[in-house]
Structure 1
Amino acid sequence: MSPRWNPNPDIRTGRHVVYNLHVHLVFVTKYRRGVFTDAMLTRCDEIMRDVCADFEAELKQFNGEHDHVHLLVHYPPKVQLSKLVNSLKGVSARLLRKEYSAHVRRYLWGGHFWSGSYFAGSCGGAPLTVVRQYIENQQRPVG
C-alpha cells in the first residue's frame, strides 16, 4: 500500500478479497412480548459479540427495547448470513433463558424466545443511485 494512503478500518482484506460488508439485523421476541430488561439487553449484547467473534465478524452497534433488538454487524464475505443469524438467535435464546429463567417464563413459554423471522438490511457504502451512476459511467471499450 502507498504510504500516502490512509487506511479505512472498515475496509478489510483477505487473501483474494477486499471487502466492507455491513448488515442491520432486527430480531423480535416471540409474540412481541416485552421480556427485555436493561440487564438482559446488556447480557444479550455480550453474547452476540461473542457469537460474532466466532464468525470472524464484529458487532459494531447493539441496542434494543422491551420486545426487539437491533444489531449492526461487519462481516466477511465467507460468512453465510443465515447461519450467522441462526447462531445469534440460538445461542442468545439458550443463554438468556438459562440465566434469566424465572423472568423469561413470565413472558415466554414453549421453548421459544425469538420470533422465527428477522429483518436483514445491507447498509454502508454509497447509495444505490451513486453506485448505479458510477457503473454506468465506466469507460467501456468501443469495437
Structure 2
Amino acid sequence: MKGLKSTAQARYDLRYHFVFVPKYRKRVLHGKIKTRIEGMIRFAAQINEWEIYELAVQPDHVHLYIGAQPSWSPSEIMKVVKGGTSKKIRELFPELDEVYWGSTFWADGYLVKSVGVIQDKVIAEYIKKQV
C-alpha cells in the first residue's frame, strides 16, 4: 500500500488531530508566546520523529495534526507536548503569573481524533482556515 511508513516490526500510517486549550481557556496564545509554543511543538516532533501535517496556534486553543509511530499512544504524545511546553512557557513568560496560579498552563484533557486518509485533506484544510 502506498503512503505507509515502516519500522522493523510494522507498516503504518497513524494520524491524529489534537485540540487542546490553555487553562481557563484564556486568550494568551499570541505574539511571542504563540511563536515559542509553535517552536517547542515542532522541536518535540523533530526529536521524536513525528510528522506535523498542520499546526495552528489560535489565541485560545491549538490544533495539531500529526503522524506518529505505533509506539506512541495519543496520551503519550500529549504528555510530551503539553508537559514539555507548560513549564518552559511559565519560566519564559513570568507575566503569565498574573493570569495563572501554580505551575499549570494547559487545561486538563484534550480532544483527539484518529484521521484516515480520506479525511486527511478535509482536516488539513479545516486547520488552515483557522489561521
Q: What TM-score bracket applies, with the shorter chain setting the length?
A: 0.7 to 0.9
**Hey, what's the Cα distance between the residues in 2 that align with 1:90 and 1:74?**
19
Identity of aligned residues (%): 27
Offset, 1:52? 2.1
Cα deviation per residue 1:31-71 (whole Å; 9 max; x = unaligned)?
Answer: 11111113211211110112223322122211122111110
- Measure, in 2, the Cα distance between the counterparts of 1:46 and 1:55: 14
Secondary structure of 1:69's counterpart equals strand
Paired residue for 1:120? 112
Tell me the distance in 2 between the aligned counterparts of 1:45 and 1:58.
14
Which has a greater percent of helix? Answer: 2
Letter in 1 for 2:55: F
**Structure 1 gaps, min length 5:** 128-143
Q: How high is the TM-score relative to the length of structure 2?
A: 0.81
> 1: CA distance between counterparts of 2:53 and 2:93?
25
- TM-score (norm: length of structure 1): 0.75
Contact 1:48 1:59 in 2 (8 A): no
Structure with higher Rg: it is: 1
Task: After the TM superposition, list the runs of 4 or more consecutive aligned residues in structure 1 that deviate by more than 6 angstroms.
Answer: none
Deviation string, structure 1 residues 97-139 (Cα, Å, up to 9, x no partner): 111122x123222211001110001113136xxxxxxxxxxxx
Return the match for 1:25 from 6, 10, 18.
18
| Gap runs ≥5 in structure 2 | 120-131
CA RMSD of aligned residues (A): 1.8
1:77 aligns with 2:59: no
Does structure 1 conserve the Cα–Cα contact (< 8 Å) formed by 2:49 and 2:68? yes
| 8 Å Cα contact 2:87/2:103 also seen in 1 | no
AA in 2 matched with 1:126: I
Match of 2:99 among 107, 116, 123: 107
Letter matched to residue 108 of structure 2? G
Query: How many corresponding residue pairs?
Result: 119
